[in-house]
Amino acid sequence: MELFEFMKEITVQAGSNIRQKLNEPLLIETKSNANDLVTNMDKETERFLYETIINTYPEHKIIGEEGSGKDINDLSGTVWIIDPIDGTLNFVHQGENFAISVGVFIDGKKYAGVIYDVMRDKLYSACAGHGAYLNDSPIEPLTNTALKQSIVSINPNWLTKPYTAPIYGPIVVDARSARSYGSAALDFAYVATGKVDAYITLRLHPWDFAGGLIIAEEVGAVVTNQLDESLNMLHANSILVANKALHHEIYSNYMKPYQTELLTIHQGRFHSR
Ligand code: 2AM
Ligand code: CA
Ligand code: CA
Ligand code: CA
């Protein structure tokens, strides 16, 4: 458990560094498009985590959104998968509703996940097989829900695209309501704590879901892609995470009927990180 304690400590420390610098001017750059932002804090936070880990565990491998471990192509040894700021748009526009996400895998097996909601000082964590926690309190195992009594988290962008609107529209229509929070890691944490009942998105990278997968599965959530396959930690993928009954209902009634369309979308998208 020593490594798990270390994960939590350095994640909280990284978050505290961000809070202290929140009023300093941000350097904002764009990545793949004008709405895909990265700031100096994303990069500084990844560097802080990288250096702190390597100082203590020089043999560990680290994959991070902002460039760490680009050349890592297998999960042998101890592998950290890190998103230094998940919800960068929220960080830039709102100064809240962002998280640090960390997942550790040992020889490809889940070891532990940590998600830190920085401005609320809420630490979601799970060491595989030992239950999940919100700060020091155990998170209860999930109870099953039906879609008509469920809140579903989904980015409205997916409802505006002609190739995904017919798939996701009916889910939103049939759900009790829908939400969009802008941080994939927090969406996983919200499913794990029952604040929302399902999270659906079409494209996440391993750093978006590595920590969340471990925490959510620990409380009984089912985490797959939208073809009902398990997630690969080295590739981007689509996501369907929900309590067991709701996952089954959404996959069987709303996604499986569009299997051909979903397969085409997946084949065009998910060959790399
Ligand atoms: P980020 O803030 O770390 O980039 C927003 O809906 C969620 O999707 C956030 O978790 C965000 O992570 C992620 N995201 C943003 N741009 C993305 C992209 N181009 N591809 C995949 N995920 C993205
Ligand atoms: Ca990003
Ligand atoms: Ca992210
Ligand atoms: Ca990020």
Same structural domain, 120 and 165: no
Query: What is the extent of the structural domain holding 123?
Result: 2-138
Helix ranges (DSSP H) in the chain: 2-20, 40-56, 88-94, 157-160, 165-174, 184-192, 206-218, 244-250, 259-269
33 CA closest ligand 1 atom index: 19
pLDDT recorded at residue 268: 81
How far lies 90's CA from each of 56, 83, 125, 242, in Å? 32, 14, 22, 24
Q: Is the CB of 208 under 6 A from ligand 1?
A: yes
Whether 269 lines ligand 1, by a CB cut-off of 6 Å, is no
Per-residue pLDDT of the chain (273 residues; tens, 9 = 90+): 699 999 999 999 999 999 999 999 999 999 999 999 999 999 999 999 999 999 999 999 999 999 999 999 999 999 999 999 999 999 999 999 999 999 999 999 999 999 999 999 999 999 999 999 999 999 999 999 999 999 999 999 999 999 999 999 999 999 999 999 999 999 999 999 999 999 999 999 999 999 999 999 999 999 999 999 999 999 999 999 999 999 999 999 999 999 999 999 998 877 677
In contact, 51 and 43? CB cutoff 8 Å: no
- Residue bearing the CA closest to ligand 1, atom 22: 204
CA torsion sign for 236, 12, 129, 223 is negative
CA-nearest residue, atom 15 of ligand 1: 36
Give the total number of structural domains in the chain: 2
* Residue whose CB lies within 8 A of the most ligand 1 atoms, among 160, 208, 225, for a mutation test: 208
DSSP assigned state of 82: E
Best residue for ligand 1 mutational test, from 29, 89, 116, 273 (most atoms within 8 Å of Cβ): 89
Q: Are residues 133 and 188 in the same domain?
A: no
Same domain, 6 and 114: yes
Does any ligand 1 atom lie closer than 6 A to the CB of residue 183?
yes
Q: What is the pLDDT of residue 1?
A: 63
Q: What is the CATH number of the domain that holds 19?
A: 3.30.540.10
How high is the pLDDT of residue 270?
75
Q: Tell me, yes or no, whether 113 and 188 share the same domain.
A: no
**Which amino acid belongs to residue 261?**
E
> How many angstroms is it from 207 CA to the middle of ligand 4?
8
pLDDT of amino acid 152: 98
* CB atoms inside a 10 Å sphere around CB 43: 18
Residues 6+ apart with CB under 8 A from 237: 203, 204, 209, 225, 231, 270
- Among 69, 103, 138, the domain boundary falls at 138
In this prediction the ipTM stands at 0.96
Single-letter code of the amino acid located at 135: N
Q: Give one DSSP letter per residue of 159-178, joined into a string.
A: HHSTTTHHHHHHHHHHSSEE
| CATH number of 212's domain | 3.40.190.80
Which pLDDT value is given to residue 249? 98
